[in-house]
Amino acid sequence: MKKLLSLLCLVLMAPAFAIDGNALLQQVDRNLEPESYEMYRQLINIEPDGSRKEFVLYSVKKGRDKLVALFLDPPSERDRATLRLGDNMWLYMPSVGKPIRITSLQSVIGGVFNNADILRLDYATEYEVDEVAEEADRYLLSLKAKTDDVAYDRLKMQVDKNSLLPTVIECYTASGLLIKTLTYRDIKDFGGGIKRPATLETDSPLYNGYKSVMVYGQIRARAVPDEVFTLDYLPRIKELR
């Protein structure tokens, strides 16, 4: 009986099972999309007066740090292409004929989405989880950027417990200023084991009355050679479709 009581005391005094926040974040990334994929998206900028500007992009990603995107519409933007390699980004415009450097906080489409949002790498590539809280139906993750080159110094991410998909992400500067809020909506089965939100909305206190929406039309796993993710290949991205 004494041994049983001693064992019971040890169990009651043992710390609760610790959640591995970084492993959870990696699972969130894979639930959102395969590590290497091709994707079609529509991006919509909505202004305070209700007017809209729409873009259609074709994107290909490989591994943790390579991503290209090709503009399909509107006609004025067609055949522009962007390349991201880690923290480095370029924009290719046929009228210029050569890539130019761009930054994560700029936006190739205007609106509330910046280049880091449009050319997003895995969250786990850019962030470490430094705190995890658990509620009845969700996890609350506090993320800290691994380097100073990341667009947002901190993220506060709400993750649905059942699907292990993000629902709301708040993006902050190092000083604690809220830059924008990202909201994932409309779970859709894309096939191939990919079931994730089809809509990403964002607004920002820095852009009062403006809103941007990203609608995912197709996502599927695809293997792509490394040569695609080079500056020389940018004028040829449309050959992948």
Q: Domain of 230?
A: 26-240
Within a domain: 76: yes
**What is the SS3 assignment for 124-152?**
HHHEEEEEEEECCCEEEEEEEECCCCCCC
pLDDT per position as a tens digit, 94-150: 999 899 999 999 999 999 999 999 999 999 999 999 999 999 999 999 999 999 989
Supply the pLDDT for residue 17.
56
The share of the chain scoring above pLDDT 90, in percent, equals: 91
Supply the pLDDT for residue 178.
97
Element (H, E) at 115: helix 115-118
Q: CB–CB of 219/190 below 8 Å?
A: yes
Within a domain: 222: yes
Number of domain units in the chain: 1
pLDDT per position as a tens digit, 55-76: 999 999 999 999 999 999 999 9
Average pLDDT over residues 158-187: 97
Within a domain: 39: yes
**How much is the mean pLDDT over the chain?**
92
User: Residue 177: pLDDT above 50?
Assistant: yes
Q: Tell me, what CATH number does 75's domain have?
A: 2.50.20.10
Within a domain: 61: yes
Supply the pLDDT for residue 19.
84
Place of tokens 């990696």: 26
**What is the SS3 assignment for 9-22?**
HHHHHCCCCCCCHH
Supply the pLDDT for residue 130.
94
Within a domain: 147: yes
User: Residue 157: pLDDT above 80?
Assistant: yes
Within a domain: 150: yes
Q: CB–CB of 46/153 below 8 Å?
A: no
Average pLDDT over residues 198-218: 96
CA dihedral sign of residues 163, 167, 173, 175: negative
Within a domain: 16: no
Within a domain: 6: no
